[in-house]
Structure 1
Amino acid sequence: MSMMKQVLFVCLGNICRSPSAEAVFNAMIEKQELQSELKCDSAGTAAYHAGDQADYRMKQFAQKRGYLLTSISRPVDPETDFDRFDYLIGMDSQNVRDLKAVARNENDRKKISLMTDYCSGGKYNSVPDPYYGGAAGFELVLDILEDACNGLIRKLQEGK
């Protein structure tokens, strides 16, 4: 890649799915030595948890797979995030709709996509929110994110 690409992962509260996407993506960036080409962050469409760490359960499940969730929750800032990031990736269709609702123009809207668009199997149409579920939900989030992050890196590298 000729220029640094920046990705913002977005879910509702920025405590489960998007910080996990950030951690998985960062681990893959490091493993593939792409730190000079790719950077990412995460945010939420709502400010419910602004300033909080990731959900402790999500952190535990991620840590079992070797991912460290270190981000602090923050809301999406349309005035800066659409300028700073090349891709704003929602975890589900509601996140995508919320991002499109705050987009300032067509150029902003072109940067928005759905996380599962990068999955290999076409099996999932969203990264489901695990907040109110059990262990299987957190594991599923990580399974989907690993697949989607791999696909996203492949797509970004094809666009070199």
Structure 2
Amino acid sequence: MTSLSILFVCLGNICRSPLAEGILRHLTSEEGRDQEFVIDSAGTGGWHIGSPPDSRAIATAAGHGIDISQQKARKVSTADFDRFDLILALDRNNLRALKEIAPPACRARTALFSTQAFGTVEDVPDPYYGGAADFEAVYRLLYRGCALIAAVPNDGPVS
């Protein structure tokens, strides 16, 4: 079976995108479909390159049985646009940033996470300046969306 490669992107790659990566990895693994997906995350900013996810993101994921503590933040590169089938921005600002750096001809389709998952144009809120309840709310939103993405039969790249 052909794999579907997905890159989740937020601003610093320490809160939302590592959670989305961890959730989708967990869901596909639980369904025995992990071989069907290549999953990663990155940020449009490079402030946290090499750092683990925010401790609150790690704690939130761990509270749901998901370990994201070994992830390391990285910045999106132009090569990502040819490495991935689908690049999902967690908010409209990051979607704009991705479109600005995307090569003119590339393999990846770039979209807003909520558009791909729910058919809406809502941002996944950034919990960085919030507390545990904000991280939990983002986790629940990402979980619902990732469950919908994982449920789509993978017969090849998303068009």
TM-score (normalizing by structure 2): 0.90
The two structures have a TM-score, normalised by structure 1, of 0.90
Give 5+ residue unaligned stretches, structure 1. none
Q: Residue 113 of structure 2 aligns with which residue?
A: 115
CA deviations 1:61-119 (Å, max 9, x no partner) are: 111011111210000011x10111001100000111010000111545x6101111244
1:146 and 2:143 are equivalent in the alignment: yes
Confirm whether residue 126 of structure 1 aligns to residue 120 of structure 2.
no
> Which one-letter code corresponds to 2:86 in the other structure?
Y
Following superposition, the deviation at residue 5 of structure 1 comes to 1.0
Matches within 5 A, 1:1-160: 2-69=1-68, 70-78=70-78, 80-107=79-106, 111-120=109-118, 122=120, 125-155=122-152, 157=153, 159=155
Report deviation, 1:150.
1.2
CA offset at residue 120 of structure 1?
Answer: 4.3
Q: Which amino acid aligns with 1:73?
A: A
Contact 2:12–2:73 under 8 Å retained in 1: yes
Distance in 1 separating the partners of 2:52 and 2:154: 34
Find runs of 4+ consecutive structure 1 residues off by over 2 angstroms.
118-122
Identity %: 37
| CA contact 2:22–2:67 (8 Å) conserved in 1 | yes
Contact 1:93–1:114 at 8 Å: present in 2 too?
yes
Question: Which blocks of at least 5 consecutive residues in structure 2 are unaligned?
Answer: none
